[in-house]
Structure 1
Amino acid sequence: MEVTTTSSWDALRKQARKLEAQLDEQMNSYRKLASSKGSTKVDSAENDPESGIDRLLKQLQQVNSQMQAWVSSGGSEMVSHTLTRHQEILQDLTQEFHRLRSGMRAKQEHALLLEDFREFDRTRLDLEDGVGSADQALLREHASISRHTGQVHANGLFFLW
C-alpha cells in the first residue's frame, strides 16, 4: 500500500508543477500585455488571458487541497514542507495576477475616459466651427454617453452619484 500512497503524492506533485509551469508561461505573457503601451482590450473570450490564468489558478488550488488532505492523513515533514512551498507559489501567483488585472482595468478605464474626452472635444469643435446642426451634436454626445455608461456597467463599475 505504501507504493500506491507514494505514487499518488508523486502524481499530485507532478500535476502541481505542471500547472505552475503553465501559469508561469501565461503570467509572463500577461505581464507583457499589462506593460504594453498599446490597447489592452481583449477581442474574444477564448483569447482572454485572464480567464485562462484564473482557470489554472483554480486547478492549482484544487491540487493543493488534495495535497493538503494527503499530508493531513499522515505525510512526513518533508512532504509537508513541499506542500508549504506549493501553497506559497500559488499565493504569489494569485497576488501578482490580481495586481496585474487591477492595473489592466485601470488602463482600460483611462483609455475609455480619454476616448470620451476626445469625442466631447470633437463635438465641441464642430459646434464652434458651425459644422453640423446642434441636433447632430446632441445625438453624437448622447451616443458617447450611452457607450460609456454601457461599458461601465459591463465592467461592474457603476456608481450612483
Structure 2
Amino acid sequence: MSTTNMATSSNYWEDLRKQARQLENELDLKLVSFSKLCTSYSSSINRDQRTRDSRSDSGSSQDNMLVAMTTELEQLLANLTAVNDKMAEYTNSPGISSHNAALMHTLQRHRDILQDYTHEFHKTKNNFFSLREREDLLGSVHRDIESYKSSSGVNNRKTELFLKEHEHLRRTVTLYSSVRHMENHQTDSDLHETLTYKVL
C-alpha cells in the first residue's frame, strides 16, 4: 500500500471514529433526556390520577415529545450502526492487516457502546409504552365506570322524577276520591233528608 493510500485510508478510519464518537455523545445525552422524560411521565401519572379520565394537554404533549424522541433515537442508532458497519468493512479491507488488532479492538469498543445504547433505548422505550398502554386501559375502564355512574345518575334522576309524578298523581286521585266520597256522602245525606222530610 502506498504512503498516499495509507494516509487516505488512515484519514477515512479517523473520520469514521470521529463520526462514531459524535453519534455516541449525542445518543448518550438524548438517552438521558429520554429516560428523564419517561420518568417524569410516570411520576405525573402516579401523582395525578385524573389523567385516567382523559389525557390532559400536558399529558398528550408529553406523549408527542416522547414519540418524537423515540423516532430521533431510532435514527441516531441506525446512523451509528451504519458507521460501525463501515468501520467493520474498513478492518476487512486488503492491506489493513498490520494494524488489524488495534482496529479490531477499537471497533469492538464502538460495537459494545452501540449495543449498550440500543439495549438502554429499548428498555426505556418498552417501559414507556407499557406504562402508556396500562394507563390507556385503566383510563378507558375509569371512563366507562364514570359514564355508567353518570348514566345511572340520569336514570336515577328520571326514576326520582317519575316517582314524584306518581306520588303527585296518587295524592290527586286520593283527594279526588275523598271529594267524590264526600259528595256521595252529602248526596246520600241529602237524599236521606229528603226522604225523611217526605215521610214526615
If the TM-score is normalised by the length of the shorter chain, which range does it land in? 0.7 to 0.9
Structural RMSD (CA): 2.3
Give unpaired runs (5+ residues) of structure 1.
135-161
The aligned counterpart of 2:117 is 93
User: Which has a greater percent of helix?
Assistant: 2
Determine the structure 2 residue equivalent to 1:30.
34
Instruction: Identify which range, 8-17 or 113-122, moves more after superposition.
Output: 113-122
TM-score (norm: length of structure 2): 0.61
Asked whether the equivalents of residues 12 and 67 of structure 1 are also in contact (C-alpha less than 8 Å), the reply is yes
For 2:23 and 2:117, the matched residues in 1 are separated by 11
What's the secondary structure of 2:64's corresponding residue? coil
Q: Is the 8 A contact 1:126 1:132 kept in 2?
A: no
Q: Which amino acid counterpart does residue 15 of structure 1 have in structure 2?
A: Q
* Equivalent position of 1:10 in the other structure: 14
Q: Secondary structure of 1:61's match?
A: helix
Is residue 67 of structure 2 the alignment partner of residue 43 of structure 1? no
Structure 1 vs Structure 2: percent identity of aligned residues?
A: 29
1:78 alignment counterpart: 102
Query: What secondary structure is seen at the aligned counterpart in 2 of 1:8?
Result: helix
1:124-160 C-alpha deviation (Å, 9 max, x unpaired): 21133226999xxxxxxxxxxxxxxxxxxxxxxxxxx
In the aligned structure 2, how far is the partner of 1:133 from the partner of 1:60? 64
| Structure 1 residue 120 displacement after superposition | 1.0
Matches within 5 A, 1:134-145: none
> Structure 1 CA distance, aligned partners of 2:156 and 2:85?
64
* Alignment TM-score, normalising by the size of structure 1: 0.75
100, 103, 112: which one aligns with 2:127: 103
In 1, the alpha carbon distance for the partners of 2:82 and 2:64 equals 29
> Hey, what does 2:86 align to over in structure 1?
66
Change (3 A) 1:131 1:83: same
Could you tell me how far apart the structure 1 residues matched to 2:150 and 2:14 are? 69
The 1-side partners of 2:32 and 2:147 are apart by: 41
If asked which structure has higher relative contact order (CA below 8 Å, sep 6+), I would say: 2
